[in-house]
Chain A
Amino acid sequence: MKVVREHYLRDDIWCGCETCAECKQDSTVLQRDACIESSLCSYPHYLVPDTNVVLHQIDVLEDPVIRNVIILQTVLQEVRHRSAPVYKRLKDIIHEQGRHFYTFTNEHHRETFIEREPGESANDRNDRAIRVAVRWYSQHLKTSESGPDGLKVVLLTNDQGNKQKAEENGLVVYKFEEYVKSLIANPELVDRLALSSDDKNDITSSKVLFPEHLPLSKVQAGIKSGSFLQGTFRASRDNYLEATVFVQGEGEESTEVLIQGLQNLNRAVHQDVVAVQLLPKNQWVAPSAVVLQDEGAAKDDNVDGDEEEKLSRSLTEAARKATGKVVGIIKRNWRPFCGMLNVSQIKESTRHLFTPADRCIPRIRIETRQASTLAGQRIMVAIDGWPKDSRYPNGHFVRSLGSAGEKDTEEEVLLLEHDVPHQAFSQAVLSFLPKMPWIITPEDMAQRQDLRHLTVCSVDPPGCTDIDDALHCRVLENGNLEVGVHIADVSHFIKPGNALDKEAANRGTTVYLCGKRIDMVPELLSSNLCSLRSNVERFAFSCIWEMNHKAEILKTRFTKSVINSKASLTYAEAQMRIDDANKNDDITKSLRGLNKLAKILKRKRIENGALTLSSLEVRFHMDSETHDPIDLQTKELMETNSMVEEFMLLANISVAQKIYDEFPECALLRKHPAPPPSNYDILIKAAKSKDVTIHIDSAKALADSLDVAKVDGFQYFNTLLRILATRCMMQAVYFCSGMDSDFHHYGLASPIYTHFTSPIRRYADIIVHRLLAVAIGADTTYPDLMDKHKQSALCNNLNYRHKMSQYAQRASVAFHTQLFFKARGILNEEGFVLFVRKNAIIVLIPKFGLEGTVFFDSKDKASPNLVFDEKGPTLKVEQHTFHIFDQVKVTISLDESNIQHQKIRMALTEPVIPGVSVSAPEAEPQAKKQKLDR
């Protein structure tokens, strides 16, 4: 079908050049003396890159040396069409004032617009459009007076044909490589060049290692006809020869397809969108339980036959899953990867393998002359392509992050890998902060309820500076209790739509790393103006209930208020006050009242089927000067922890109900979907091994059966079960009420839930505050707040940031654990078997909340006789059989053999299995321990 479109051509599109007298432009972007020192172009010149140059060489273009570039609309549109990330980066450069990148709308310019000729492909037409625009520019600049050695326009392209045609037209044209190599001042830019297709051939052997990818048209036809499936490729973290493709089906249904073997993986990289073809049923396999890491030497490009054989195939019918092979790539989702260089053994070689920190990403071959400096550094590398005759993808160096193993570098890597925005706040953002000294004006007071007389106090972990909640409780004249939860009124300081708000929305959450906090809002707000510190007047958003002594809510009220906290307590301090019978001041009485109600609330909640799950959280004691971890302990939970938690839950539920009633279409809520029953398999199997039955029909049944699950003489059993149960759960997510119908929060057994109580560290709470403020008439709406699609997009970002922050937090803990063990040497600890794998057991050390893998097969010595039984699951090593929950003793040490992935190594000491277990280390660590105990 032919579609007719209008296309207006204009006379009023200016060239953007400073010297031009013809164009009636208000402001110019391109400078008069556009000088990049280059041996090829000694005259001032503007660069015009074509689409492929932008797409592949964006890393070079991003360098501040490259200035005065004309980006044609044709190029911009093509880039936008082909790669969203590159497009975003390009736009960022264009917006940077100092870079002098000018976008020329050539498609709508009367003299540079061209029509597609019959028989001309879209690409050829675009190339021609680029040439026409370049010619226009060179003529335009010639006519305008620009001094003796006139400005010139240089077309940069990597396309041989395009270059030739441009030369025929008398244009100045260079290959991008040529041009970059000619730059006098910046030789290191050459390293960032992506490999163009004709360079690749000499890098790799001519042997074809992978099957050809099908062209997109065939892939699409296949997907339509149902012979291929489209899905997201997820490489396995543990096994580089295995991956799953997550296929989103119609509606709720989604399936996973297993991919095994290099040939079948066919150059797909983690997170790519791929097309897969299912293999015939008799070739289906089960996911292998082995842990495999790609350790192949850099030089060999051969896919070893025995590599494949390492995937010992399970023959049990039941365990087999749908298996397939990748036939085409629909969309690459490559980003720059952090990692380290494996310097080639050949000294003069410029080609080296790069090992990404993320184990889901294959190793990347890059070309650099700085290998010796880069060795031992953490660097970033981008993938350029993966030809079918290369064992590894080809990439190029982007930048260096610092020496590996250093805390700052590692933290940077961690933040980058988890996509945590961690730059300092920009001036634009800071300009929206209130001016200091900040005072409360009478107008502010008029809009708020004065609650300064109340005995409000806050209870937080020690060292907390961003206090976002405070509580009070008092007896009313009618004998009922008034309980108030006061939350920092962050939305008062962050007005919707300004730079501060946008930055906070993008960050989504404050990220807590060990000894470091990446704030969501600038410190002035997080630790001062919003923080509900004691004995200062602060704005709060209060949720006040009237309750009877059975903790039944009689009345709920929300108000913006001013409070004056009387005390900032830690959990321990609060606990001491409650327990100390001699203390009878107002704060203590208030705490006791709260504690009493909290216990009732908790009991009710548990009766309703709320789950109490468990995960071990560790806390490091940091050295105040070096910030190195000195000691490590699992977080201890006190009654007061749960007291605060109860009221926060109650406030969140009350607020969720209120905003949902007011805005059924656009309330921001949080849900926790019930996990599918299959998720519980591990838990049920594990419990069965100890003759305990777990019911999973409902949250209540699960909670009850967890409560009664006890084994005599094994008091840690219950905790272990709860840890396992936690891993069966789904992620709780934010969502917009207008876009979903299932609101249930499984874990809390609440029909509706949201986040209201931590606006300093979570952006979702700020939105909820705004919604609630509108609901009680304290504020007005703004467009984005009422737009369910925008809110849904925001929820997606928040969920992503939240997930990433958790990962980053875990990674940070892992890193600090390593630092800790590095200092400690070898330790000998008791632990429990948490999972049993085919060639390893995973052991949990309760004392450190640490999980580690004990491998039974290793490359350097003969493996012991291993018998794996999937039903148990149990693993028989020589004579000894390991079950889940078995108590074992292990030695813990830091394995520094691989600087990139330093890991905690565990080795078995008890039970003693000859040839497998090691002997316990001697007294030396013991002495150290005593030192710690003081």
Chain B
Amino acid sequence: MAGLELLTDQGYRLDGRKATELRKVQARMGVFAQADGSAYLEQGNTKALAVVYGPHEMRGSRSRALHDRAVINCQYSMATFSTAERKRRPHGDRKSTEMSLHLKQTFEAAVMTQLFPRSQIDIYVKILQSDGGNYSVCVNAATLAVIDAGIPMRDYVCACTVGFVDETPLADLCYAEESGGVSSLALALLPRGGQIALVQMDARLHQDHLETLIEAAMTACKGVSKVLDEVVRQHLQEASVLSRE
């Protein structure tokens, strides 16, 4: 059997999107009352839940506290039912630990941690259903949760994966595309200033292609940011209308 054709000559992808089109993004903020901030986000069939606690006093070992800024503590986990094969450990394996670290690095770049010396911000993200682009979906969900918690950020952080097929960058890969042997790159962006918070890629790619790929990823991130922006404004209006009355 021939492998999957990721991009047809007519420019359509497996699921009918064009190369630069994102999957459908849906999100809700403030889904939990007990947390400081929370959000639920679906990007296509990838679904993630993010919860933020803090900033609060350092818990656990107080020695990790920083005198000039807050510590960001991230935990990434995947629900046991999130993948086709049931996962044994929802978190703590190597991949999750790495993902947690990436999330931490991403949010350290965006959250104004210097405002909260000696405190800690917890960001917990759980993938409920995995269909590619887990990192990006986590970042996007966590951004909403952080905003919901009222924690100051320089800008949204939006993330998107891009793959490279037939000399064409494909935005927002789904699982079938990710596993189709595409070298993919994940990028987190502060869209307004165009600053990159994190770029991550573990496939081989020639440097000549890197620029086009990053360019495409940035465009995709800006697309994501528009959607997130709408969600936040909508939420803001709903909430402020209530509190006015």
Most A CB atoms within 10 A — which of B9, B21, B23? B9
Separation in Å of the B169 CB from the closest CB of chain A?
13
Q: Which of B12-20, B101-109, B187-195 contacts A (4 or more CB under 8 A)?
A: B12-20
A786 x B206 contact (CB < 8 A): yes
Residue of A nearest to B183 (CB): A787
* Closest B residue to A104 using CB positions: B10
**CB of A81 closer than 8 Å to a CB of B:** yes
Chain B nearest CB, measured from A533 CB (Å): 35
Known: A3-B84, A6-B174. A81 touches B12 (CB 8 A): no
The reply to whether B206 and A787 form a contact with Cβ atoms under 8 Å apart is yes
* Cβ–Cβ contact B2 & A108, under 8 A: no
In the assembled complex, A781 has its CB within 8 A of some CB on chain B: yes
User: What CA separation (Å) do A9 and B17 show in the bound complex?
Assistant: 8
Is A28 on the interface with B (CB-CB < 8 A)? no
| Nearest neighbor of A84 in chain B, beta-carbon distance | B2
A88 to B24, CA, bound (A): 34
Chain B neighbourhood of A80, CB < 8 A? 2, 5
A107 within 8 A of B: yes
Residue with the highest number of chain A CB atoms closer than 10 Å, among B10, B15, B176: B10
- Interface flag for B97 (CB, 8 Å): no
- B-side contacts of A10, CB under 8 Å: 16
Q: How far is the CB of B226 from chain A (nearest CB, A)?
A: 18
Q: Which residues of A contact B16 (CB under 8 A)?
A: 7-10, 105, 107-108
**In whole angstroms, how far apart are the Cα atoms of A783 and B204 in the complex?**
10
A927–B201 Cα gap in the complex (Å)?
78
Complex Cα–Cα for A4 and B131 (A):
9
Interface string of B204-220 (1 = CB under 8 A from A): 11101100000000000
B8 touches A781 (CB 8 A): no
Q: Does B44 contact A (CB under 8 A)?
A: yes
A8 to B45, CA, bound (A): 12
Contact indicator B15/A5 (Cβ below 8 Å):
yes
- Alpha-carbon distance between A251 and B23 when the two chains are bound, in angstroms: 42
CB-CB < 8 A to B33: which residues of A? none
Residue B1 lies at the interface, judged by CB distance under 8 Å to chain A: yes
Hey, what's the 0/1 contact readout for A1-36 against B, CB within 8 Å counting as 1? 101111111100000000000000000000000000
Please name the residue on chain B nearest to A83 by beta carbon: B2
A-side contacts of B84, CB under 8 Å:
1, 3
Is A702 part of the contact surface with B, judged by Cβ < 8 Å? no
A613 within 8 A of B: no
* Smallest CB gap from A1: residue in B: B84
Cβ–Cβ contact B15 & A786, under 8 A = no
User: Inside 8 A of B23's CB, which chain A residues have their CB?
Assistant: 6
Q: How far is the CA of A10 from the CA of B16 in the complex (A)?
A: 8
Query: Which B residues lie within 8 Å of A142 (CB)?
Result: none
In the complex, A204 has a CB within 8 A of chain B: no
- B174 / chain A contacts, CB cutoff of 8 Å: 5-6
- Do B206 and A782 have beta carbons less than 8 Å apart? yes
The answer to whether A6 and B45 touch across the interface, beta carbons within 8 angstroms, is yes
Q: How far is B41's CA from A635's CA once the two chains are assembled, in angstroms?
A: 76
| A103 to B5 CA separation, bound complex (whole angstroms) | 15
Interface size on A, residues (CB 8 A): 29
Q: Which residues of A are found within 8 Å of B17, using beta-carbon distances? A: 8
**Does A94 reach chain B (CB closer than 8 Å)?**
yes
The reply on A73 being an interface residue by CB < 8 A is yes
Q: Residues of B contacting A4 with CB < 8 Å?
A: 45, 131
Q: Are A81 and B2 in contact (CB under 8 A)?
A: yes
Interface residues of B in 35-58 (CB under 8 A from A): 44-45
A105 proximity list for chain B (CB < 8 A): 8, 10, 12, 16
CA–CA, A450 and B76, complex, Å? 62
Contacts A3-B84, A4-B45; is A108 near B206 (CB within 8 Å)? no
**Residues 172-189 of chain B: 1 if any A CB is under 8 Å from the residue's CB, otherwise 0?**
001010000000000000
> CB of A91 within 8 A of chain B?
yes
* Size class of the B contact interface (CB-based, 8 Å): 20 to 34
Q: Report the nearest A residue to B5, measured CB to CB.
A: A80
| A773-795 to B contact mask, C-beta < 8 Å, 1/0 | 00000000111101100000000
Which residues of A have CB within 8 Å of B205? 783
Tell me whether A786 and B204 are in contact (CB under 8 A): yes
- B174 CB to closest chain A CB (Å) equals 6
Report the bound CA distance from A107 to B5 in whole Å. Answer: 14
Known contacts A6-B174, A10-B16, A787 near B9 by CB under 8 Å:
no
With a cutoff of 8 Å between Cβ atoms, the chain B residues found around residue A6 in the complex are: 15, 23-24, 44-45, 131, 174
CB pair A5 B176 closer than 8 Å = yes
CB distance from A465 to the nearest CB of B (A): 36
A91 to B5, CA, bound (A): 13
Distance of A44 Cα from B10 Cα, bound (Å): 25
Q: Determine how close the nearest CB of chain A comes to the CB of B227; give it in whole angstroms.
A: 16
Chain B nearest Cβ from A715, distance in angstroms: 57
Residues of A close to B21: CB separation below 8 A: 8
Contacting B at CB under 8 A, from A79-117, are 80-81, 84, 87, 91, 94-95, 103, 105, 107-108
**A94–B9 CB distance below 8 A:** yes
Q: Bound state CA distance, A721 and B130, in angstroms?
A: 66
Whether B9 lies near A782 (C-beta < 8 A) is: no
Assess A8 versus B15: contact at CB under 8 Å? Given A782-B206, A786-B204, A787-B206: yes
Residues of chain B in range 149-191 having any CB-CB distance to chain A below 8 Å: 174, 176
CA distance A6 to B12 in the complex (A): 13
A73 to chain B, nearest CB (A): 7
**A538 CA to B133 CA, complexed, in Å:** 53
The answer for the CA separation of A662 and B88 in the assembled complex, in Å, is 43
Q: With A and B bound together, what is the CA distance between A81 and B3 in angstroms?
A: 8
User: B80: shortest Cβ distance to chain A, in Å?
Assistant: 15
Closest B residue, CB atoms, query A8: B16
Q: How far is the CB of A777 from chain B (nearest CB, A)?
A: 16
In angstroms, Cα B8 to Cα A80, docked, is 11
Enumerate chain A residues within 8 angstroms of B9, measured Cβ to Cβ.
Answer: 91, 94-95, 103
Question: For the complex, what is the distance from the CA of A563 to the CA of B140, rounded to whole Å?
Answer: 61
Contact call B10/A103, Cβ cutoff below 8 A: yes
Cα A527 to Cα B208 in complex, Å, equals: 33
Q: Which residue of B lies closest to A786 (CB)?
A: B206
**A679–B14 alpha-carbon span in the complex (Å):** 49
Residues on the B chain within 8 Å of A7, using CB: 15-16
How far in angstroms is the closest Cβ of chain A from B24?
8
A239 to B17, CA, bound (A): 54
Question: Quick one: CB contact mask for B45-89 with A, threshold 8 Å, 1 for yes?
Answer: 100000000000000000000000000000000000000100000
Query: Nearest CB to that of A2 among chain B residues?
Result: B84
Contacts of A784 in B (CB 8 A): 206
A3 vs B17: C-alpha distance in the bound complex, in angstroms?
Answer: 19
In the complex, what residues of A have CB within 8 A of residue B208's CB?
782-783
Q: Which residues of B contact A9 (CB under 8 A)?
A: 16
Minimum C-beta distance from B185 to chain A (A): 14
When each residue 798-834 of chain A gets 1 if its CB lies under 8 Å from chain B and 0 otherwise, what string results? 0000000000000000000000000000000000000
Q: Which of A850-884 contact B (CB under 8 A)?
A: none
Establish whether residues B5 and A783, one from each chain, have CB atoms under 8 Å apart when the complex forms: no
Q: Which residue of B lies closest to A665 (CB)?
A: B204
Q: Which residues of A contact B12 (CB under 8 A)?
A: 73, 105, 108
Expressed in whole angstroms, the Cα–Cα distance for A787 and B182 within the complex equals 13
Interface residues as binary, A47-91 with B (CB distance below 8 Å gives 1, 0 otherwise) = 000000000000000000000000001001100110010010001
Q: Which 6 residue pairs spanning A and B have beta carbons closest together?
A: A783-B206, A108-B16, A8-B16, A6-B15, A6-B44, A105-B10
Known: A5-B176, A105-B16, A783-B206; 18 extra A-B contacts, CB below 8 A, are: A5-B15, A5-B45, A6-B45, A7-B15, A8-B15, A10-B16, A73-B10, A80-B2, A87-B2, A91-B9, A103-B10, A105-B8, A105-B10, A107-B16, A108-B12, A108-B16, A783-B209, A786-B206
Q: List 29 A-B contacts (CB under 8 A).
A: A5-B14, A5-B15, A5-B45, A6-B15, A6-B44, A6-B131, A8-B15, A9-B16, A10-B16, A73-B10, A77-B5, A80-B2, A81-B2, A84-B2, A91-B9, A103-B9, A103-B10, A105-B8, A105-B10, A105-B16, A107-B16, A108-B16, A781-B206, A782-B206, A783-B208, A784-B206, A786-B204, A786-B206, A787-B206
Residues of A whose CB lies within 8 Å of any CB of B are 1, 3-10, 73, 76-77, 80-81, 84, 87, 91, 94-95, 103, 105, 107-108, 781-784, 786-787
